[in-house]
Structure 1
Amino acid sequence: MTHLFAVAVFMVMFFWHCGYRLTSWDYFIATAAVYVPCYVYPWLRTCFQYGVNSKAQIFVEDSGFIRITIPANFHWVPGQHCFLRFTSFGLLHALSAHPFTICSLPSEKPNEQSELTFFIRPEKGFTAMLYRYALENPGGSAPVLVDGPYGGINMQRYQDSDHLLVVSGGSGAGWCLPLIEKIVRHRMISADEEQGQIARPSGKESPAAEGLGNRSNSRPLSLRVILATRDSSCRAWFLRAVSELLSKHSQADSSFNTDFQVEVCLTDKAIQPVNLEHKPATAPMPKGSLSSTDKNNVEEGGRTINVPEREFEGRPQLPQIVQEASSVAEAGQSLSVFVCGPKTMQNDVRNAVAEENLKILQGSTTGAVYLHTEHFSWA
């Protein structure tokens, strides 16, 4: 609310300084004509499209993140965010809209309620208040007004890509989950279609497969997730969340092969950057590796879920990772890079992707490399 107070002070001082002279009133009218509709529209959209009776359940995860779940009756795509107004925390927060990135996907089952899920790292101010409320009222609910969704990744780019590279840091871990769930769902649909389990009445595609367009179901071919975190509890929470997604969308006898890989870098013990270059299965693990296995067994619902995960100690060498992932472009294939992290992480990935695209423009390689960046503080 500091900026609103500054605006009010500015307007009073501006009015006093101009003293109704010349066209000073025109500036106030023009400002109101732009600002008032932009402020009123989200309120009207919330009231008439989403309603004012939504309830948010608030929890604290083992990682220290705040988890907020809200029932929803609309559609959204990975990377989108919503503005939330909590009306039970005072007038100030009821009037303030807080942007949070959605960390879930809408349900594909017609009789299943979709839920917006947000994972928030508590900081100062409002998120600290939410954290205290969740500790004092585990699983408690609070009235909330939802405005959104906005933004999101380019789904056409996602669907047309041969390979996906997702890079995140810290609280950006939750931002990765919809992208992981998307490809897990896609793999499940592809497997069912190969086995003839998806019925297509009247020659129509199944609703679950509609978003894949007319291209081959073999795309995307691979997904590589890089998570950099200095908190081991965040790493454990992230692996458990991934295992829940695998358990939810897989059969008891199914497993995921090397086209899906999770690499976690624990940066709190980092001194030197760590080499994350892929090696053959018979080769020793890269220097700084914390594990000698590519599988992490996580118990979920009485089942042991194998999460294809590799752990490293140190900061990831992002330019090297992008260069390695972009090698697929030499075969004429495409790569989409999605990053959510601090500015330094985004800049490293941007520069690396720009360098690879420059190689394509110069004709030394073929294919395509696409980049999507997400503002870290909104994830």
Structure 2
Amino acid sequence: MFAQMVLHGALYTAFFNSQGRLLTKYAEPGEIAAIIAGFAFLSVVFAAVILRRFWYELFYVTHITCWIVGIVATGFHQPEFTKPAYIITLLAASMWVTDRIIRMSRVLYNSVNNEATLYPLPNGGTKVVLKKVPARAEPGKHCFIWLPAIRKLETHPFTIHRGSPVEFTVKAQNGFTRDLHNYAVANPGASVKASVDGPYGTFPDPMEFDKIVLIAGGGGATFTFGLAVNVLERMTEETHKNIVFIWAVQKHENLSWFKEQLDLLRTHAHSTKVNVTLYVTRSPSSTSDLPSDGHNLLLQSRSSSSDNEVASPPLSPIDTDTEKNEPRIPAPTHRRPLGDRDPEKEMHEAIETHVEHHSSRSSGKEIDTSASVHRFEHPIKEGRPDAASLIRDAVNSTPSNQRVLVAACGPHGLMRVVRDTTARLIQGDGPGVELHCEQFGW
């Protein structure tokens, strides 16, 4: 569109200049509006190509503002209602305004008696648990979350990785996600006003495939765990699927973000062929890089409570700076019988214990990584996964009369390897292969 606009302006400029009317023509109000529209759309293109990569929130504001200015100025450039350009401009503007009204109405509707409970996770993660389940919400789709306690005029998209209650896991980067994590650290377990717009997104139905290969890097596991949970929740005793789940994280701490989902995959390993492999790309330098026993106790407390209790998702109070090697919540010396436990009380006790030991330092003992392997009961390997070999092995071991879904989410490098490898495996005499990628964009 921008290229055609430049061509349009250049040709008319040459035409008016050849007739000696360039200065008088461009002094007219309609042509001034055209110049304003041109610079507005230039700003839109610049923000999309350059600014979006470095400062997404500024890009978003610039994008919306300049688009509105450009559309309005285009309308003033051709103000005659009888001309097609004016009708097209009005149509485009009305579609955008209608879309915004619908989205705002959905956010206001879903905000009635709705709250989100925030839980800090190790290494900059935040778990967000909604009180109300949006219509048509299912793991793997995404919603735009509105948390006025963090940002009053912003909504941000995050992937659903659990359907009831609806849970999101957010990795702190900059801007909103960093402020969200800092708030959760300062107020662990706090409930704040919330709403959602969505769900959005679509993906191939995993139940139509015999083998499902799920590959994730870091926070991309929100999508692959969501897809895995989507399959397991819909399976019956007669359903048999082969799931290959690969997840790479930077630190052992990140594994605790989805311990419940990992346990769910483990419990289905007998009835369903589930092969889970976890990779840690950075070797742990201290015990702070491993999930705490206190965190595991809280996860067990949550599993013993009712799934309908929103106030009891896993709670992992942590320090803002995970590199200081400050101690995590210590494991209790004994555990009460399951029936005598009060999960909510245990969470508050864990928070108090963490606050009491906040100023102390860790002892710097050597780490036994086998403890982490035993804790999650899945193989944990050091280094980056050879995604190409893992995908080839999964597809080549599938009979030619079956179908394979390769679904991945993660950084650009990983997605490039997944796309290239899967494309080469689509052959006429092999199994049916379908690829679906959810790539980091912001």
Q: Same fold (TM over 0.5)?
A: yes
Correspondence for 1:86 among 139, 147, 152: 147
Answer whether contact 2:218 2:247 (CA < 8 A) is retained.
yes
Matches of 1:125 and 1:87 in 2, distance apart? 14
Residue number in structure 2 paired with 1:375: 439
Answer whether contact 2:278 2:379 (CA < 8 A) is retained.
yes
Residue number in structure 1 paired with 2:183: 133
Residue number in structure 1 paired with 2:214: 166
**Aligned pair 1:228/2:248, yes or no?**
yes
Residue number in structure 1 paired with 2:260: 241
Residue aligned with 1:78, SS: coil
Correspondence for 2:157 among 99, 104, 107: 99
Deviations 1:21-65 (A, max 9, x none): 8967556423322210111111223444x3533111111112421
Residue aligned with 1:35, SS: helix
Cα drift, residue 184 of structure 1: 4.1
Answer whether contact 2:400 2:432 (CA < 8 A) is retained.
no
Answer whether contact 1:160 1:219 (CA < 8 A) is retained.
no
Cα drift, residue 78 of structure 1: 2.8
**Aligned pair 1:45/2:103, yes or no?**
no
Matches of 1:117 and 1:5 in 2, distance apart? 32
Deviations 1:223-248 (A, max 9, x none): 1111122222113444x23345368x
Matches of 1:19 and 1:77 in 2, distance apart? 46
Unmatched 5+ stretches in structure 1: 106-113, 191-216, 270-297
Residue number in structure 1 paired with 2:13: none
Residue number in structure 1 paired with 2:240: 219
Distance 1:326 1:308, change over 3 A: farther
Matches of 2:231 and 2:376 in 1, distance apart? 14
Deviations 1:312-346 (A, max 9, x none): 22222222111111113444222111101112212
* Structure with more of its chain in helix, by fraction: 2
Matches within 5 A, 1:25-36: 25-26=86-87, 28-36=89-97
Residue aligned with 2:118, SS: strand
Residue number in structure 1 paired with 2:132: 72
TM-score normalised per structure 1? 0.68
The one-letter amino acid of 2:415's match is Q
Cα drift, residue 258 of structure 1: 8.1
The one-letter amino acid of 1:126's match is F
Answer whether contact 2:240 2:272 (CA < 8 A) is retained.
no
The one-letter amino acid of 1:225's match is F
Matches of 1:314 and 1:122 in 2, distance apart? 23
Distance 1:341 1:185, change over 3 A: same
Unmatched 5+ stretches in structure 2: 1-60, 284-295, 301-334, 339-372
The one-letter amino acid of 2:63's match is H
Residue aligned with 1:309, SS: coil
Residue number in structure 1 paired with 2:23: none
Residue number in structure 2 paired with 1:263: 277
Distance 1:229 1:246, change over 3 A: closer
Matches of 1:258 and 1:116 in 2, distance apart? 25
**Aligned pair 1:323/2:392, yes or no?**
yes
Matches of 1:184 and 1:52 in 2, distance apart? 31
Cα drift, residue 12 of structure 1: 7.0
Residue number in structure 1 paired with 2:58: none
Cα drift, residue 171 of structure 1: 0.5
Correspondence for 1:58 among 118, 124, 127: 118
Residue number in structure 2 paired with 1:3: 63
Residue aligned with 1:268, SS: coil
Matches within 5 A, 1:309-348: 309-348=378-417
Residue number in structure 2 paired with 1:193: none
Cα drift, residue 368 of structure 1: 0.8
Residue number in structure 2 paired with 1:123: 173
Matches of 2:255 and 2:409 in 1, distance apart? 16
Answer whether contact 1:258 1:308 (CA < 8 A) is retained.
no
Matches of 1:228 and 1:121 in 2, distance apart? 14
Cα drift, residue 305 of structure 1: 8.6
Matches of 1:320 and 1:255 in 2, distance apart? 23
Deviations 1:244-286 (A, max 9, x none): 5368xx5xxx9737821211122236xxxxxxxxxxxxxxxxx
Cα drift, residue 354 of structure 1: 1.2
Highest CA radius of gyration, 1 or 2? 2
Residue aligned with 2:144, SS: strand
Cα drift, residue 356 of structure 1: 1.1
The one-letter amino acid of 1:145's match is S
Residue number in structure 1 paired with 2:365: none
The one-letter amino acid of 2:207's match is Q
Matches of 2:376 and 2:211 in 1, distance apart? 19
Residue identity over aligned pairs, in percent, reads: 25
TM-score normalised per structure 2? 0.59
